[in-house]
Structure 1
Amino acid sequence: MAIGLPEFVENPENRCPVILLLDTSGSMLGQPIQELNRGLAAFKEDVLKDAQASLSVEVAIVTFGSVVRLIQDFVTIDQFTAPRLEADGVTPMGEAIEYALDLLENRKQTYKDNGILYYRPWVFLITDGAPTDFWQGAAQRVREAEESSRLSFFTVAVQDADMNKLRQIAPPQRPPMMLNGLDFRSLFVWLSTSMKRVSSGKVGEAVALPPVGWGQITT
């Protein structure tokens, strides 16, 4: 009989994977990146209040600025330390999305290899700009994955983000949301509350998400 990875032997709970795909380009310098860092800390703090969610929710962080970086590979929230992100460079959003989708597929395979059930993964893109690289292929992959229920892709626009490009990247059924100011804390508390609801349900079951008070859809 195959022996599973230690992390799954010690914690065989169903997993709820979420990738935070974060813009750390130069335009995020100053207050935007500071508020984003505070939001990440609030996310950990809030998920930890729920015993089930702290064992089930797995977070990975991919940033894109000067380069695309895996800042945090998948860990459960109890093992997660909120990073201190710094802003620099351009916006290789297309490459970052492709990287995140590959990372997610690899993680799903790891779950399957270890007999771990998982909820539909979330990918959360947060950006204040527009891609500076080729992004059309990434957008196509996002839409195909969403249509086949392989993931839920959320797009959050900050301040001067290019909404026209983001609408082309986001799945039609989940258009980009414009963040209210720099209220990252409310965004991440909403994400935490959503993860708690998902992780308390059954795998494959539809869950009603809390109202979005942190942003709005703009036409």
Structure 2
Amino acid sequence: MRRLPVFFLLDTSGSMYGEPIQALNNALSGMVNTLRMDPQAMDSLWLSIITFDREVKEVTPLVELANFQLPEITCPQSGPTHTGYALEFLHAKVNSEVRKGTPTQKGDWRPLLFLFTDGKPSDQQLYRKMIPLIKGLNFATIVGCAAGKAADNDMLKELTDTVVHLDTADSATLKQFFKWVSDTIEQGNKSMGTTEQVTLPPPPSEVNLII
């Protein structure tokens, strides 16, 4: 069975401390439970969660959905947002872990990337340096999510054309966003092999697509 790798880059900088990080944990848990109800996702989906604040951490290495265990994600009370460093880390992971096809064996399906942030990169020079390298990894889709008033849509737009904005990072909004993420993953999973790009499902009212 060919794998569909899905990578999550999650901002855990100081501004996420308190209710937002708890809401993020709850929303992620709901998303995983939803995906597990899809037999096709259980067969082919592999998930990885990488968090970034002052440090970048691989919270969950790339693992099949059936064996995926979501740990509690935490964040410091303050500190920078090293999005560029996170992209650098992701670049190395995708290059080493996503299986490429050979003349005798098909590789993984094109991976998906979801980047969630409530701010903007503290390391903008590295962030911009990594953008063409990330785009060169042949993701089937990259979704950037800017949550809250301090989140920078324009910085995410440099990385991907698909940027959504959430007015807040509260529990109800994040739940709706990650429900939409699970719908996107399921749609991407079902369309693999028939189309090059993932067609995004219509977002709920809480998720504003930035044109």
- Please show how residues 147-158 of structure 1 align to structure 2 within 5 Å: 149-158=138-147
Please name the residue that 1:78 is paired with. 66
Structure 1 residues 85 and 50: alpha-carbon distance in aligned structure 2, compared to 1, 3 A threshold: same
How large is the RMSD of aligned CA atoms in angstroms? 2.3
Tell me if the contact between 2:100 and 2:108 (Cα under 8 Å) persists in the aligned partners.
no
Gaps of at least 5 residues in structure 1 are: 1-12
- Please show how residues 1-219 of structure 1 align to structure 2 within 5 Å: 13-88=1-76, 89-109=79-99, 115=105, 117-133=107-123, 134-145=126-137, 149-159=138-148, 160-168=150-158, 170-171=159-160, 173-174=161-162, 176-182=163-169, 183-203=173-193, 205-206=195-196, 207-213=198-204, 214-218=206-210
The AA in structure 2 aligned to 1:200 is: K
Question: SS in structure 1 opposite 2:20?
Answer: helix
Cα offsets for 1:45-99 (capped at 9, x unmatched): 0011011111211110110013111111111111111221111232111010111
Question: SS in structure 1 opposite 2:37?
Answer: coil
| Alignment partners' CA distance in 2, 1:189 and 1:60 | 17
Question: SS in structure 2 opposite 1:135?
Answer: helix
Question: SS in structure 2 opposite 1:39?
Answer: helix
Cα offsets for 1:83-130 (capped at 9, x unmatched): 211112321110101111221121223776994542221111100111
Tell me if the contact between 1:120 and 1:150 (Cα under 8 Å) persists in the aligned partners.
yes
The AA in structure 2 aligned to 1:198 is: G
The AA in structure 2 aligned to 1:62 is: I
Tell me if the contact between 2:2 and 2:108 (Cα under 8 Å) persists in the aligned partners.
yes
- Percent identity over the alignment is 27
Which range moves more in the overlay, 96-105 or 196-205? Answer: 196-205
| Alignment partners' CA distance in 2, 1:126 and 1:114 | 37
Question: SS in structure 1 opposite 2:28?
Answer: helix
The AA in structure 1 aligned to 2:74 is: E
Tell me if the contact between 2:100 and 2:107 (Cα under 8 Å) persists in the aligned partners.
no
State how many pairs are aligned. Answer: 201
| Alignment partners' CA distance in 1, 2:81 and 2:13 | 6
Structure 1 residues 217 and 150: alpha-carbon distance in aligned structure 2, compared to 1, 3 A threshold: closer
Which range moves more in the overlay, 79-88 or 158-167? Answer: 158-167
Give the TM-score normalised by the residue count of structure 1.
0.82
Which range moves more in the overlay, 157-166 or 72-81? Answer: 157-166
Tell me if the contact between 1:119 and 1:198 (Cα under 8 Å) persists in the aligned partners.
no
Which range moves more in the overlay, 58-67 or 206-215? Answer: 206-215
Tell me if the contact between 1:16 and 1:195 (Cα under 8 Å) persists in the aligned partners.
no
Cα offsets for 1:176-207 (capped at 9, x unmatched): 21024231211222222222222234425255
Gaps of at least 5 residues in structure 2 are: none
Question: SS in structure 2 opposite 1:109?
Answer: coil
Tell me if the contact between 1:142 and 1:153 (Cα under 8 Å) persists in the aligned partners.
no
